[in-house]
A and B are shown apart, each in its own frame.
Chain A
């Protein structure tokens, strides 16, 4: 657990000195190797430790700045963003926007292309998986942290959050039923709460349109991306996170979603303290109505 590889070394003094003279001479063989390294990065489930060639190319990337720049250029040219290159994660790549490697919602789930409700639910499933996998800010920041999630766990977690919002709206005397002719104005939590969490099907498979079905699709997809590893079948399927997932969420997805949220004029308050709490409300120390145990409503 403690012996994970160091961060990719920045070009410190001695590395620069020794390799600088050789930098201009890039041979086609070097370009082929750089492209080979990028192609390894495109196999996200491939562990560097299991492939001698991969390991060797990673070493070259770390030790030869010229080679590293070449590999970066190849990746950029293909429409890829280099997140990290280390023996821990291998060559962690993310797809730039509009790249051929990017995943499109319409390809991901056919229904989601046309239906805004399904589109939102699929996106929310991914966000909720990440939030459950890294429940605290420290967990997302700590390179050694491994998160564990289950399909049913993610579902009940989001449902709980929705229920708190419902209780709050009820306490405030709001009528949250959306206007019939403007479904886009319906509060997001209601869309989730309304969808059934599971359902019996004729062939005993998971109901694809249910929330656990949507979450199961998300985690299976993430597992295919080398972001999660399946560890068992309990609670709808249990998974643990990989270093790549942490990178992807921390450096790409989290900030992108945050930027979008800020653009909408919503500024989530953070006082730096660890909190999986719902946003502070001041007077919510009262036990929730009907509850035998208190939790912040």
Chain B
């Protein structure tokens, strides 16, 4: 008795399986919105899926060559959006929500820290098989110094970008061509979307390369160094150069669009163009980084080759642990593979001497009072301090008066001559200090003060007027106070960090 095959064919079934898997990737996001009702507290005002997608966006954009995104930073960047959804709630709740979303994207509760979806396919013999699909959206990777960083997985990037089941390189080219067309037609809103997509692709591309380079550092013989590697490095470098040219061209175009846009289309258009410039700049930065990695590849291979290939051969051959054991074990089914690893474990861990305990000793040990600590270290000798004579030219009070004199309002700078005269009325010694401070302010370290977050800075300018004074000669400087944008600087700094 033959049962007609219920599936239209393996190819269609495979396509279905692929779509089911893509669908599964979105499930954790929807799941958040269904589960928010179960949380202790009134959380239904928050749009959890939106927050989750924003979190994935943030992590993707923070992913760099060496590290990923920092956990706390992502939470901090997510907070404004959380706060906007429920402005009436307190900040502690906002943070709790942001953390909950991020932790659920990592799926902290499960041992694999991932998700699992079940779907069914028809086997070649027409039998229906349920299968487990395991995936992650945000994964935790070790960073330098034992820290933990976040990265988005390929699944997450693909869900985010829109199920692009295509080659990285070609997708990038397509996105850029689209971008150029959009810009030339003046449709900047769409252009921004395309630029962001191009950036996601760039990040994904860099990630693939980083992994490959890491692999080659470990194992030089896994690489055809004779022809394939140099060819490929050149190809990759050409690619970077090409992208670089391309993106610079785009940058020039958008800059033009940005500057021209202001007059005819309004501020929104200008802002969009400015954002676009930032995105493309970021793409260029990532390509430059990629290029420097590529240039390091050659010397790295040669050094590894020296170390591994040009040593005198050993007299006897040993067991090839990777090629003959590890590599054949990995494709085996779990049950069989575990037998091999069990055998290795049983013989490879060495020995442990079992503890032999006497009840008498144990009681003694437990009943012995802890030995009092006798030594807290040697006693510190009293330091012998010698008072140094105060040989300052000016006293603290004089400095205070001088600073008060120089406390000028930002909109009313003064001549040095006037300041000196006023100082002389207060204290005959003070003009020297004022002159000194004014000269010091002639070329103030603006950059340093800005970086240190100073709000105001004393400056002095020479406009050519000679100084007419009984004690001092030179230029009659204009002394004033400049206000620095400390708040803007602080914002810049957190963004750069």
Contact = CB atoms under 8 A, between A and B. Distances in A.
B142 A257 contact: no
Interface in B292-340: 294, 297, 308, 311, 313-340
A102 B208 contact: no
A123 B338 CA distance: 7
Given A180-B132, A293-B233, A250 B338 contact: no
B335 A185 contact: yes
Contacts of A194: 112, 114, 134
Interface stretch (B219-227, B396-404, B453-461, B472-480): B219-227
Contact of B121 (A99, A119, A163, A175): A175
Contacts of B216: 293, 295
A114 interface: no
B185 interface: no
Given A177-B133, A260-B339, A253 B334 contact: no
Nearest to B336: A264
Interface residues of A, number: 116
Contacts of B322: 131, 135, 276
Contact of A261 (B140, B328, B352): B328
A254 B321 contact: yes
B328 A257 contact: no
23 contacts: A102-B352, A120-B341, A123-B345, A137-B317, A137-B318, A158-B326, A160-B214, A163-B211, A178-B131, A183-B132, A187-B332, A188-B333, A190-B134, A196-B140, A226-B350, A236-B142, A244-B350, A254-B321, A258-B324, A285-B228, A289-B167, A291-B209, A293-B232
A278 B328 CA distance: 9
B468 interface: no
A127 B346 contact: no
A42 B353 contact: yes
A44 B350 contact: yes
Contacts of A102: 346, 351-352
Interface of B: 14, 17, 71, 106, 108, 111-114, 118-119, 121, 129-134, 136, 139-142, 146, 148, 167-168, 205, 208-209, 211-216, 218-219, 221-224, 228-229, 232-233, 235-236, 239, 290, 294, 297, 308, 311, 313-354
A135 B219 contact: yes
B132 A177 contact: yes
A173 interface: yes
A49 interface: no
A198 interface: yes
A198 B147 CA distance: 10
B148 A256 contact: no
A268 B334 CA distance: 18
Contacts of A183: 132, 334
A256 B320 CA distance: 14
Contact of B318 (A122, A126, A140, A226): A140
B131 A175 contact: yes
Secondary structure type dominating chain B contacts: helix
A225 B114 CA distance: 34
A283 interface: no
A60 to B, nearest CB: 23
B341 A292 contact: no
A56 interface: no
A289 B133 CA distance: 22
A136 interface: yes
B221 to A, nearest CB: 6
Contacts of B335: 116, 184-185
A138 B325 contact: no
Contact of A277 (B148, B323, B329, B334): B323
A109 B107 CA distance: 24
A199 B331 contact: no
Contacts of A35: none
Given A80-B351, A130-B321, A260 B208 contact: no
Given A194-B134, A225-B350, A253-B348, A119 B342 contact: yes
A199 B345 contact: no
